[in-house]
Amino acid sequence: MMTKTLIPILFLCSAIAVYADDIEVSQDTLLQNLNYGETADRTITITNNTSSAVDLSITLVDQTWIPPLVQEPFQENLVVPDVPATLGFTTEHICGTPDPDPADALIADELVERWLEQQGRSSRSIVNVQIAWHVIYQDNGVGNLSDQQIAQQVTWLNTAFADHDFIFTLDIIDRTVNNDWFNDMRDTYDAIAKQALNIDSYHYMNVYTSNILVDGVAGYAYLPNQWTEGSYMHGIVLDYRVLSYAGGYDGDVAVHEAGHYLGLRHTFLNNCTTGNDQVDDTPAHHEDYLWQCNNNLDSCPDLPGNDPVHNYMTYTSNSCQWEFTPGQKDRMHAMVATYRPHMLENPVAPLWMTTADETVTVPANSTLDVDFTFDATNTYGGTYYGDVIFTAATPDTAITVSATLNITGFPEIGLNTTVLSFADTYINDTSAVSLEISNVGSDYLDISSFEFDYDYFFTEAQAASIPPSESEEITIYFIPDSIGSFSGIMTINSNDDDDPAVDVTLYGTGEESPLLLSFSSLIDTLAPNSVNSHLLTLSNTGNVSLDYQINHDIEWLTIISPENGAIPAFNTELIQFNVSTLFMNYGEYSGTIEIETSVGVFYLGVTIIVAGLNIDNDIAGIPHTFKVHNNFPNPFNPVTRVQIDVPESGHMQVAIFDVSGRLLNTFYNGNITPGYHNIKWDGKNNIGASVSSGVYILNVQLNGKHHSQKMLLVK
């Protein structure tokens, strides 16, 4: 079950910068608490102690929004990891982020500089980095971090990035029990786990926690230019013990890896060179002189500046790290704009604080009231941060007042109907209806799960988060296994306090089709340059004549019998068709025959395998490329088949996972010879038990290459 957690970000209050002591404000912070839909007015009194009137401009800036923290229930059996006092960036535990390819790095540097020249180094907006956090842990509970532990780490991220126009919003938390992924994430299962768990890499920073200190690595990530935007390989991986715990570790590993994720390199990259990390204000330093918190350390004496020992992107003790430079801030924003442009689509705060005054004049030796309106009528629940800046004509006279608005919102589920009726459906056929789920509240509606009391109703929809005033459409399916009436209940579980579990009643009727096919799928293995003939029986069980028309566009298949006709009541028709491998290469070929009738359209799936069979019942010959073919049939019941083209010898693993990442069955895990290999799955797990209807993931690994695809089992 996916759990979603929303947390606030703690900003440090802006300090008042008063350069003219004769100008004063009545308060340096504004704090307002409102329920959704309310407004409130606040006043700041400005005092002018001079003998001349003072003109002030008023600017409202950085109106950011952080969703609220959802308190999770106490987990009695949670295993809290021990945190060694010396854990973290030490000489024993380092960052596993790979260095950039020099050619790719050069291209990235040119694009970043071009963006900075075009946009200006001060021209940037706040970026909301939405987080999907994936907790990978052992079946004994080790590594199962609590929501509060994760929330504390995200708060630490926001503290570190508070002055750099990045906010981090914890939006999704899910949990996966997988001992292999937990203990061998970095070396073996990095791509597999990410592909199975990743959520929308275009808009989310996916975070994975597992046991990677076994490799001496505390965390790792990839730079934005090391994979294409949206690749499931993006994100950061952390050892589960390096989070920000109260009284324990301070969480800078996550800050360091987030820096990589946003485009920063190690400050010690390339040692004593002028282009170490391509940031002008981070002095070069040599990797042989790391781990030293010494302000006077200068490992590159021929280059300007002492070593940046306090920078988050170096290796020192965590207590010694506390800064990103202005140049690093510029680079992060340029890298995001260049390589992660979809992240700029993430929501930021609406305008929640206004004033009628853009400029005011404060009379000599007098005071003036300036009114501000806090507005919670067009917002989500959460905490909002901003600044009010009063600037005088004197260039160095500015006063900053920090503003905070806490809004109490609420999610509320809405459905377009609570009763769904399916069209009469033939046995083992599928019909579908849609349901619209709306959020009519003022805070995110988190759908955690869909539950059904009977297997003949199901949905492929997963957990989701629906913003206020938006909706999401899901599809529910009905598959009857017998003649008669069916009814069931679908329960939608969410964070709606008033209605945490909403029921939808489902009705459907199963009926026998008047047209029966002797088989619905065919797999035939042929030698090259050969022909096989097959007979398909069409049975009309109804009391009226049934017209039919056979259509297909398969080049290697020929209908021998008439392609159209009429089947008398209670009678049958034999359809003969041939499949030919003339002039065809080794491999697998699939197509579909469409049988159009007066009572509906029926489909026959046909697959041929062009092969000379070896003793392993695999296809002879050697393919040129690694390829995993689509499984056939799909959807399937009870058996589906997959061809895997293996161009070279090596190690191959073939496994089935459910959508939560749980391993169900391993077909093969060992050395493999080149060739065309075939597997079949009968819908059973590794102990021989049949699995339920739903979506499953086939994962194939070959010599470091990975492929995953979805398969739909219907019963």
Reading the block at residue 614, the tokens are 């070896």
d(C-alpha 89, C-alpha 106), whole Å? 28
Please answer whether residues 9 and 69 qualify as being in contact, where contact means their C-beta atoms are separated by less than 8 angstroms.
Answer: no
User: Which residue type sits at 350?
Assistant: P
Please, are residues 385 and 11 in contact by the beta-carbon 8 Å criterion? Answer: yes
Q: Which two tokens stand for residue 364?
A: 């000599």
Closest CA to 534 of 523, 549, 542, 543: 523
Burial class (CB in 10 A: 0-12, 13-18, 19+), 306: middle
**SS3 assignment, position 255:** helix
Strands 382-392 and 54-66: antiparallel
Q: Is 257 part of the annotated catalytic residue set?
A: yes
Amino acid identity for residue 638 in this structure:
P
Is 523 within 8 Å of 607 (Cβ atoms)?
yes
- Alpha-carbon Rg for the chain in angstroms: 32
Calculate the CA dihedral of residues 198, 199, 202, 206 and round it to 10 degrees: -60
Distance CA 164, CA 156 (A): 14
Beta strands per DSSP E along 560-648: 564-567, 571-580, 587-597, 600-610, 627-628, 640-646
Question: Given 257, 412, 573, 588, which residue is catalytic?
Answer: 257
**Residues sharing a CB contact under 8 Å with residue 402, sequence separation 6 or more, in sequence order:** 11, 13, 14, 28, 29, 30, 385, 386, 387, 388
Helices (H), 45-189: 102-119, 147-161, 179-183
What's the maximum distance between 2 C-alpha atoms anywhere in the chain? Answer: 109
Single-letter amino acid, residue 348: V
Strand arrangement of the beta sheet that strand 457-459 belongs to: 413-415, 431-439, 471-478, 457-459
> Are the CB atoms for 392 and 55 separated by under 8 Å?
yes
Active-site residue list = 257
